[in-house]
Amino acid sequence: MIRGLGRFLAFVLLVSLGSVAAFADAGTVPVASVCHAEAPINETWSEVAAQPSRWRCDGKGWTLATQTVLIRFDLPDTTNRLLPQSLTTHTGNFERIDVGVIDRQGRANWASYWPGDVRHLATGPYMTIPVPGVTAETAQIAVRMVRPWGKTSLSEMRLDPFAEGSGWPLQLIVAMAATCGMLLVPLLINTAFYSVLPERYVIWHLVMVSAMLAQAAFATGFAHLFFQPAMQWEWQASNVAFATMAGAGLLFATNFIEEDRLDPRLRKLSARLAPMMWLVGVLTSVPIEAVRPYSSLTMHLSVGVAIIMLVIAMIDAGRRGSRAVRFLFFGWTPLMAIGAWRILAHFAPMLHPTEAILPYQISLVFEVLVTALGIVNRFVEVREERDEATARALELEGVADRDPLTGLRNRRTIEARFEELFRRGFRTMAVIDLDHFKVVNDTHGHATGDMVLCAVAHALTDDRDTRAIRMGGEEFLLLLRGHDAAARAERCRRAISARITTEVPGLERIVTASMGLVEHDTRGNLQIDFASLYARCDQLLYEAKRLGRNRTMREKVTGFQPALAEAV
């Protein structure tokens, strides 16, 4: 199943990458070069432009440790070139963006845009800003972003040939919508499973997937199909969701691994790190200048700690023989690899920082579905373990509720279940006692006496309408239901002598039995407890013995008063 899922997601990735290539060709204006420089907020574009040594044109070395970042798009010197109509970049927070259109004589026409002026696209994680007044005489598009919060808003900026901006092509939108939709599957599965498997890791998986859905809604831009969050709140919500996802993922992994297959110290450390990650997400979202240069840096470090912790936990669990860790290894490896790349690209000046949205989303879905399969597998294992435990408990209960000599139910069982059996119609009680059984033990020994008792048990029918119980010694009890209950009890009593004669040869005399029986008229209203009904049957039994033994004394009642048990 995991292989099939991997092949499907690989197909989605290939389609997505093909769409990205087409998108790069259709949604980007060709430029001669793209360069960037850093400057304090009080330094003008002209001052920085006059210093070529400050500009970097290799697409690397982006930084947030400055108040403003200047980006220069040099347009090719051709007459039939494609003119830019807007500026499109990855969604991110900032204070202001100044856009200048500079002609070949160096004249510049500037316009300023604040977060409220920026248009968010619903067809990708992009925002777009208009670039009016571009003509064939335009030589450069100048951008000055004041106090940016994310490197990718800088590194992924491009000139767009469409005034409204261009997002993902249709096939890529469909592919990404499918991957986001697949995140709903584990939510449904886990919600259903939690009612029968109330384990902590199911809750943490639900929290993790919910955070992933929220983060994916902003990362793909699909959130703008339903509402239009302000730039600041969108960035903050995405940050908190990302931190929640990392913390919940860490707690899920360490709780999902079997109890005895992970070092307890790792569990404790994870329990402490997870809330700290959520706190980091909140603190790095505080919109103040003192936080801005370190916000992205701190978030990346926090995620890096989570990845390192996950790797250590998986290695430890694998060495201890964990079966659950297989699902974590297959599910988390692609996502952790992409996360590690994004962290490395953020810190390494020689790399181009990128959100890697496509592989990230696909690896996200892969991780969630694989771990959901792991939960299903754990559910099956836990159910099997519980079924085995229940079977063992029932077996032990059965042994405890049975007479060890005859195998019949014992007195404790019938007393505990009498009310239930009475409601189910078992309203005829018969108490049977062997006549002169002491003579058998004294003459032939207790071993022969035990054989006699076993023969009695074989003579007493135990079926869906009859319950046979050994009360102790040579006394037995029958609970019966049905219109012929008294007649069936009498047949059992008469069968005792024949069964003993057949199974216990060498006895000097026939062993008989006496019985006291109370039959309830189902048209009446009998309300009685076990002790009272048993006492009445016992009185009838002794009456049968007084009258000569080997007989039954019975009565049929429509109502019962405890006093009757005393009147014999």
Q: Sheet harboring 475-480: ordered strands across?
A: 409-410, 466-472, 475-480, 428-434, 513-520, 552-557
Query: pLDDT tens string for the chain (568 positions)?
Result: 445 545 544 544 444 444 444 444 456 788 999 999 999 999 999 999 999 999 999 988 899 999 999 999 999 987 677 899 999 998 888 999 999 999 999 899 999 999 888 988 888 888 999 998 899 899 999 999 999 998 999 999 999 999 888 888 877 788 778 777 777 777 777 777 676 667 888 889 889 888 888 888 887 778 877 777 776 678 788 889 989 999 999 999 999 998 889 999 999 999 999 999 999 999 988 888 899 988 888 988 999 999 999 999 999 999 999 988 999 998 889 889 888 888 888 787 777 777 777 788 788 878 887 888 888 787 777 777 666 755 665 554 555 678 889 989 999 888 888 988 988 889 999 999 999 999 999 999 999 999 999 999 999 988 889 999 999 999 999 999 988 999 999 999 999 999 999 999 889 889 999 999 999 866 656 678 899 899 999 999 999 999 999 999 999 887 655 444 333 3
The answer to whether 79 touches 136, Cβ cutoff 8 Å, is yes
The arrangement of secondary structure in 170-392, i.e. its CATH architecture, is Up-down Bundle (1.20)
Q: Which two tokens stand for residue 62?
A: 């982006």
Query: What does the pLDDT read at residue 317?
Result: 94
Q: Which two tokens stand for residue 446?
A: 């207790």
Where, residue-wise, is CATH 3.30.70.270 in the chain? 409-566
Where, residue-wise, is CATH 2.60.40.2380 in the chain? 31-160
Number of C-beta neighbours around residue 63 at 10 A: 13
Q: Which amino acid is at 483?
A: H
CATH of 31-160, one of 2.60.40.2380, 3.40.50.450, 3.30.465.10, 3.40.50.10680: 2.60.40.2380
- Class level of CATH domain 409-566: alpha beta
Cα 568 from Cα 23, distance rounded (Å): 102
Cα 518 from Cα 206, distance rounded (Å): 60
Where, residue-wise, is CATH 1.20.1070 in the chain? 170-392
Q: Is the pTM of this model over 0.75?
A: no
Q: How far is CA 293 from CA 68, 94, 162, 290, 345, in A?
A: 11, 12, 32, 7, 17
Q: Which two tokens stand for residue 221?
A: 């831009």
Q: Which two tokens stand for residue 84?
A: 């830019």
* Residue (of 24, 411, 355, 51) closest to 218 by Cα position: 355
Secondary-structure percent of the chain, ordered helix, strand, coil, rounded to 5: 55, 15, 30
Cα 354 from Cα 151, distance rounded (Å): 8
What are the residue ranges of helices labelled H in 78-158? 151-155
